[in-house]
Amino acid sequence: MTQVSAPRPSAPGPGPSAGSDRPRSGPHLVLLALYALFILASGSRAIVQIATKFSEAPIAYLLSAVAACTYVAGWFAIRRAAAGRPAFARVMLWVELGGVIVIGTLSLVVRSWFPDDSVWSDYGKGYGWVPAALPILGLLWVHRSPAAKERS
Amino acid sequence: MSALAPIVWIVAGYALLVALAAAVGVAWRAPRPRWLDQLAWMLELLSAVLAVGALGLVVNGHRPDSLSTHLGYVAAVVVILPVALLSIREDRGSWSSGVVAVAALATGVVAVRIWMTR
């Protein structure tokens, strides 16, 4: 008598699933969740600030909007990298890290430009420094994960 | 507004518990257990109670310093977990527990922000 075993659910592991652009389970899921959260947080923050009190700190509020756009791009970059196309992520995550460092430094050095905080003020202190950690974690993942290796 | 305090701290504390349980799942590299989903949906229920309470106070005449910010947090507290759970509905890998951890932690932080912007 032949035994028929039930089909097993696909094992979690790195790398894109066969025949699909949808990446399998991996650390990028957590990165994508964090990016989605920061799209929500910085996007809604920028919208409210620009709509209600733009004249109080225009530079800071515009930079919050820039941060929100960067997180949207970062989310797509991580998703593409997880599907085996890491080129955009390699550029975008460095751009994001540069933004956090430049704006974080400016917010400490030229206080008058930032009467109110932007998302990246003080290197993202208002968000527990997660904005500074995110691109670093993303870059580590892109460079180490087999999921983010270029498809041949 | 003090009527909201107990539920805020219950949501924040429970969210921390769910986040820790999910983080342990990631650390152990275990597939996401069904009970973690159930814990997360229970947190969603508590968050909905918090949102209804916060909205009830606004409807009854309480005006936060920034109404738009406060309402934004109220909307976020009920949206975060369902979106996160839907995004991983077909994936029971260990890293999907990390998504639950992030969403639960964010829900707890937003609950506290609702209290801070009251």
The tens digit of pLDDT for each residue in A33-81 reads 999 999 999 998 899 889 888 888 888 889 889 999 999 999 999 999 9
Which one of A12, A36, A44 has the shortest CB-CB distance to B93? Answer: A12
Q: What is the pLDDT of residue B118?
A: 81
Mutation to test the A interface, candidates B74, B102, B117, most A Cβ within 10 Å: B102
Per-residue pLDDT at A4 exceeds 90: no
Q: Kindly state whether B59 is in contact with chain A, defined as any CB-CB distance less than 8 angstroms.
A: no
CB-CB neighbours of A61 under 10 Å? 24
Residue A16 has pLDDT above 50, yes or no: no
Beta-carbon separation of B84 and A24 below 8 A: no
Q: What is the mean pLDDT of residues A23-35?
A: 87
Between A4 and A55, where is the model more confident? Answer: A55
Is the Cβ of B88 closer than 8 Å to some Cβ of chain A? Answer: yes
- CA of A41 to nearest chain B CA: how many angstroms apart? 9
On whether the CB atoms of residues A9 and B78 are closer than 8 A, the answer is: no
Per-10-residue mean pLDDT, chain B, length 118 = 84 97 94 95 97 92 86 93 93 93 96 91
In total, the C-beta contacts within 8 angstroms joining chain A to chain B are 61
- Strands, DSSP E only, in chain A? none
Per-residue confidence (pLDDT) for residue A23, from 0 to 100: 55
C-alpha–C-alpha distance, residues A36 and A28, integer Å = 12
pLDDT at position A10: 42
The share of chain A scoring above pLDDT 90, in percent, equals: 49
Is residue B23 within 8 angstroms of chain A, CB to CB? no
CB atoms closer than 10 angstroms to residue B19? 22
Q: Give dist(CA A107, CA B91) in Å, integer.
A: 41
CA distance B79 to A119: 21
Nearest chain B alpha carbon to A53: B66
The verdict on a CB contact (< 8 Å) between A30 and B103 is no
ipTM score assigned to the predicted complex: 0.88
Task: Report CB contact under 8 Å: A25, B91.
Answer: yes
